[in-house]
Chain A
Amino acid sequence: MSDLLLDVNLQQVPDAYLAGAWRVAHRVINRADPDSTLAQATSLLLSDEQLQLQAPTLNETGSWAVQRDELLNRPYLRLNFPAEEMRALVTRLRRTTDGARSQLNLYFSSGLEMQLDRP
C-alpha cells in the first residue's frame, strides 16, 4: 500500500515536503500567456533556496521560498526569476507514506495551474 498517494494537510505541511525535483505532469493554461516560460516549463527544481526551471528552449535560475498568510489556510510559493517574480498557491499535495512519490498542484496568480510529479 506504500504506492498509495495520500492527501497532506496543507495547514501543517512541512516546507521540506515542497522541495525537490518536480516534473510537470499536467497544466491548465486558463488565461495565462501560453508562450510564457512558465507555461512551457517541463520541470522545476526546488533545492535549498535555489530554483531551476527547465523548458524546451530555455532554462532559468532563481530563488524560491515558502510563504504563509493568515488569510490563507494553505501555503504558497514565491518564485523569483531575474525578470519577474511569481506567486503560486499550493492547492493540493499528495505523497506516499514513505515520501518516495509526491504530487503537487500549484495555482499561479496568472491563472495557470500545474500538476507536478516527483519523481
Chain B
Amino acid sequence: MPNPDATPASPQTTEEEFHFLADFIPQLVWITDPTGFHTYFNQRWVDYTGYTLADSVGPNMWNNLLHPDDRDRARRVWSHSLATGDDYEIEYRFKAKNGGYRWFLGQALPRRDAAGTIATWFGTCTDIHDQKLATDKLAEREGEFTTLADNVAQLSWMARPNGHIYWYNKRWYDYTGTDLATMEGWGWGKVHHPDHVQGVTTFVQQAWATGQPWELTFPLRGTDGEYRWFLTRAVPVHDEQGQLVRWLGTNTDVTEMRQLQEQLQNSYADLEAKVTFRNLDLEHEVQRLRQQVG
C-alpha cells in the first residue's frame, strides 16, 4: 500500500531507480525514438554486445551483431513495427563481444503521448538460447520418431487409457484414406467391416478395462474399398507410479498369411478326401467291421 505521507520522488531519484532496475533485470534493455534511433542501452547490453549507444549509429553495429541468416528478417519485422506501431516480437541471434551467437527473444512496445502518437519504443532482448536449443533438439527428436512411426511396415496408433485414439501414423491414413478428424476417438469403426465391427467393439471395450496387452484380428477397409485382414496388438504404457498413461497399437496386414493358411487347410482337407476316395471300398469295409465290433 502506498504511504500517503511519503514525499514524492524527485526526477533524479526516479531516473536512478529506472537505471538500477534496467541494469538489474536479466534482459538487454533498449529505448529508441519513434524513428528507431537508439537513445538508451542498459549495462547488460553493453556487457554482452560490447557496443555502446554511440556505436548504434549507422548499420555497422547491427550488421556485426545479428546473425547473417537473421538480418533481413529482423530488418523487415522492425520496419513493420516502426511503420504500423504494431508490437515488436522476434527471435534472432546476437553475437557476444567475446564471439559466438546466442538466441534472444526481442520484444518492444511503443509508448504513446496523449494524442496517441508514438513517443518512444521500449524494448528488451531475453536470452532464450538454452530453451531454443532444447526446443530444437526436441523437435528434431520428434521429427525422427515421426519418420520412424510413419515408415514402419504396420499401421500404428496411440490411445488414451480409456481407448480414445488420438494419433495414427501416416500408413494408417494412406491405407484407409481417412484423416484424424474422422478417426479421432472412436472413428475407427468407420473402416471396419459391418459384419465384424460389433464384435470388435465389444472385445476392445473389455480389453481397455483390463489394462493388459491384447491381440485381435479383424478386416479393415482400404482406399480401394476392399477389406484386408489385420492382426492388431495393443500394449499399455505406464508411468513411474504404475499408472496407465496410454496405449500403443499396431495393425499388421496378415491377409496373405491367412490366405496361405486357408490354402494349407484346404490342401489337407483335399488330401484327406482323396485318400478316402481312393480307399472308398476299403473304408466301407472298415466301417462295417467297426460296427460289428462295436
Contacts and interface: CB of A to CB of B under 8 A. Distances in A.
Interface of A: 69, 71-74, 76, 87, 89, 91-92, 107, 109
Interface stretch (B9-17, B189-197, B271-279): B271-279
B287 A71 contact: yes
B97 interface: no
B266 to A, nearest CB: 8
B119 interface: no
The SS class assigned to the B binding surface is helix
Contacts, number: 27
A72 B272 CA distance: 9
A72 B278 contact: no
A74 B273 contact: yes
B276 A107 contact: no
A99 to B, nearest CB: 23
A89 B276 CA distance: 10
A91 B274 contact: yes
A72 B280 contact: yes
A87 B270 CA distance: 16
Nearest to A110: B278
Interface in B255-294: 270, 273-274, 276-278, 280, 283-284, 287
A92 B270 CA distance: 9
B245 to A, nearest CB: 46
B276 A71 contact: yes
3 nearest A-B residue pairs (beta carbon):
A89-B277, A91-B270, A71-B283
A89 B274 CA distance: 7
Nearest to B272: A73
Contacts of A91: 270, 273-274
Contacts of B273: 72-74, 89, 91
B280 A69 contact: yes
Contacts of B274: 89, 91, 107
Contacts of B284: 71
A46 B159 CA distance: 60
A72 B278 CA distance: 11
Contacts of A69: 280
A89 B273 CA distance: 8
A90 B69 CA distance: 78
Given A71-B284, A109-B278, 19 more contacts: A69-B280, A71-B276, A71-B280, A71-B283, A72-B273, A72-B276, A72-B277, A72-B280, A87-B277, A87-B280, A89-B273, A89-B274, A89-B277, A91-B273, A91-B274, A92-B270, A107-B274, A107-B277, A109-B277
23 contacts: A69-B280, A71-B276, A71-B280, A71-B283, A71-B284, A71-B287, A72-B273, A72-B276, A72-B277, A72-B280, A74-B273, A76-B277, A87-B277, A87-B280, A89-B273, A89-B277, A91-B270, A91-B274, A92-B270, A107-B270, A107-B274, A107-B277, A109-B278
A51 to B, nearest CB: 19
B119 to A, nearest CB: 78
Contacts of A76: 277
Contacts of A89: 273-274, 277
